């Protein structure tokens, strides 16, 4: 189902404080219509009314069943990790940003959005944000780690989960070990990505 909005309305939506969905799948109905459809985690709900669980796109009112959250109401790191684990085992899909398929930079972008932070779509754009971390031991949950190829090009990004653990989309969303060499795949028992740098985008 598609409900198109004009460019002016779209730009207006960007200025509205965002409420986002945090359930992996959320059932939505057009007000007065009993046809159900799904929206995925990280979807914005413009003009959201928490009392009625409705939101507005253009002049159309929708009602949502499920959880939604103001991204500014909780600890950012906690929100990122809690939502990252909901994607565990989701398949890798280049260009994807949903539980049906997601790539590494889309994974980082959607999780930051769900925590109220806006970051660019691609890893090469994300890696210049925030402050640099010198050691893996400095990293906190929600910090980003970037990995390069033999030519020095950034090709992968993952989210630090806890000390020496990373959650990232590679084949599927998975948890592996990470150190100053890179990502150590716990299944194949070998390094799959070489560490380039780590960045802290969250101001504690």
Catalytic residue of the set 47, 104, 180, 193: 104
Catalytic residue of the set 47, 127, 156, 180: 156
Identify how many contiguous H helices and E strands the chain contains and give both numbers.
4, 15
Q: Among this protein's residues, is 127 annotated catalytic?
A: no
Helices (H), 37-181: 76-84, 104-114, 123-126
**Whether the Cβ atoms of residue 34 and residue 28 lie closer than 8 Å to each other:** no
Cα–Cα distances (Å) from 31 to 62, 84, 116, 150, in that order, read: 5, 31, 27, 54
**Whether the Cβ atoms of residue 114 and residue 22 lie closer than 8 Å to each other:** yes
Catalytic residue of the set 127, 168, 180, 193: 168
Q: Which residues are catalytic?
A: 104, 156, 168
């Amino acid at each position: 189902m598609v409900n198109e909005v004009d460019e002016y309305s779209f730009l207006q939506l960007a200025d509205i404080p965002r409420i986002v969905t945090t359930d992996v799948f959320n059932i939505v109905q057009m007000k007065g219509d009993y046809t159900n459809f799904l929206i995925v985690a990280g979807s914005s709900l413009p003009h959201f009314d928490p009392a009625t669980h409705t939101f507005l796109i253009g002049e159309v009112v929708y009602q949502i069943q499920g959880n939604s959250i103001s991204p500014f109401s909780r600890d950012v790191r906690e929100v990122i990790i809690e939502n990252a684990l909901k994607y565990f085992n989701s398949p890798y899909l280049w260009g994807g940003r949903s539980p049906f398929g997601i790539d590494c930079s889309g994974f980082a972008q959607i999780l930051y959005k769900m925590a109220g932070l806006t970051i660019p779509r691609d890893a090469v754009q994300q890696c210049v944000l925030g402050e640099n971390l010198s050691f893996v031991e400095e990293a906190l949950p929600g910090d980003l780690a970037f990995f390069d190829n033999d030519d020095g090009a950034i090709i992968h990004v993952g989210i630090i989960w806890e000390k020496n653990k990373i959650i990232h989309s590679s084949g599927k969303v998975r948890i592996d070990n990470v150190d100053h060499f890179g990502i150590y795949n716990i299944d194949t028992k070998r390094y799959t990505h070489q560490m380039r740098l780590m960045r802290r985008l969250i101001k504690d």
